[in-house]
Chains A and B, each alone.
Chain A
């Protein structure tokens, strides 16, 4: 149905020739914009509902009171995946976890996955690469959080927390209860959830549209296999290079995902592209700045370093699996 709409607008209303580069580009833009908008609205809204009802405090109490033999890494990481990406909540959550006596590695697992798997990235992945790749992205994001969290947990980094956070950690208390909001009926919460969802969409929309537009131009005008020469799977440096290039980009750059999709269509290996994407959304300077309040520079660098290595490693694995 969307294909027909895109065809109608491009070839009928705008009278572009189906074989021309401009025709290809415009058709691509209309189709991708419509599809991604629908997915973005749907997924952001669903995640908003989940998030409004997710008992964060109970999870923390559960994690701090039970011995889980490794399962805690999974729980923290999966929890990071379903909470929306807001760097401003990640610091209070980090401290809340530390305060509850939850090991640093588990806390890191949460902190890594939280921005990595977010509703905007999911919607864009689903729209551009299909559900199979989306599931792979989400599950590997969770796995990556667990792995990197586990490694960081083994490094004994407690001494590199800021002093006041260490004081909190030493006085960690196992809490039994926390403030819970009075139950508000779903009907009353819906407008608030919808408003939040709209806020998120409005925030990323310009970037996404620009991304699709650039992607569309490339789709129409760049010849097949153009980039392959530089970033092909045979080039051993392609993965680390694209990951390191991606770290300084901020996550509003999820808008570049449409560009990446075109790069993949034009010959760049999918694994390299996924690794690039993970580095863009997972690691950012603004996040590092916020974390400075709770961690020493050395800890932040170790944290970023371990995550970067894990992303590079997963990029290689993807390139082997996803051929």
Chain B
């Protein structure tokens, strides 16, 4: 099972990213552990400048924008 982390300090875009991830999981029928990382100190460990960030298995996949559902399905 993959671990998906959504990095962001709780802005609307970060919320939207979480919704997209949940949709992608539902549509693909796959399972993954979804975790939201809202603590700025945690976020900065990933060395990113823009949020939201999508991290799959500790690897940065998308940053600075809200992904598309199909895009996320491909990453699962």
Contacts and interface: CB of A to CB of B under 8 A. Distances in A.
Nearest to A100: B49
Nearest to A93: B49
Nearest to B50: A89
Given A181-B62, A196-B65, A92 B44 contact: yes
Contacts of A89: 11, 49-51, 64
A93 B50 contact: yes
A96 B47 CA distance: 7
B14 interface: yes
Nearest to B48: A92
B40 A95 contact: yes
Interface stretch (A2-10, A24-32, A52-60): A52-60
Size bracket, chain B contacts:
20 to 34
Contacts of B48: 92, 96, 179
B63 A181 contact: yes
B68 to A, nearest CB: 5
A57 B16 contact: no
Q: Chain A's interface: helix, strand, loop or mixed, by majority?
A: helix
A91 interface: yes
B9 A91 contact: yes
B64 A56 contact: yes
B16 A92 contact: no
A87 B11 contact: yes
A236 interface: no
Contacts of B68: 191-192, 195
Nearest to A60: B49
Contact of B49 (A57, A87, A88, A168): A57
A216 B47 CA distance: 48
Contacts of A196: 65-66
Nearest to B14: A88
A134 to B, nearest CB: 26
Interface in A175-193: 178-179, 181, 191-192
B49 to A, nearest CB: 4
Contact of A293 (B14, B40, B65, B66): B40
Contacts of B49: 56-57, 60, 89, 92-93, 96
21 contacts: A56-B64, A86-B13, A88-B13, A88-B51, A89-B64, A91-B9, A91-B40, A92-B9, A92-B50, A93-B50, A95-B40, A95-B44, A96-B48, A168-B44, A181-B63, A192-B66, A199-B12, A199-B16, A199-B66, A203-B12, A293-B40
Interface of B: 8-14, 16, 40-41, 43-44, 47-51, 60, 62-68
Given A91-B9, A168-B44, A199-B12, 12 more contacts: A52-B65, A86-B11, A88-B9, A92-B40, A93-B49, A164-B41, A179-B60, A195-B68, A196-B66, A199-B13, A199-B66, A294-B40
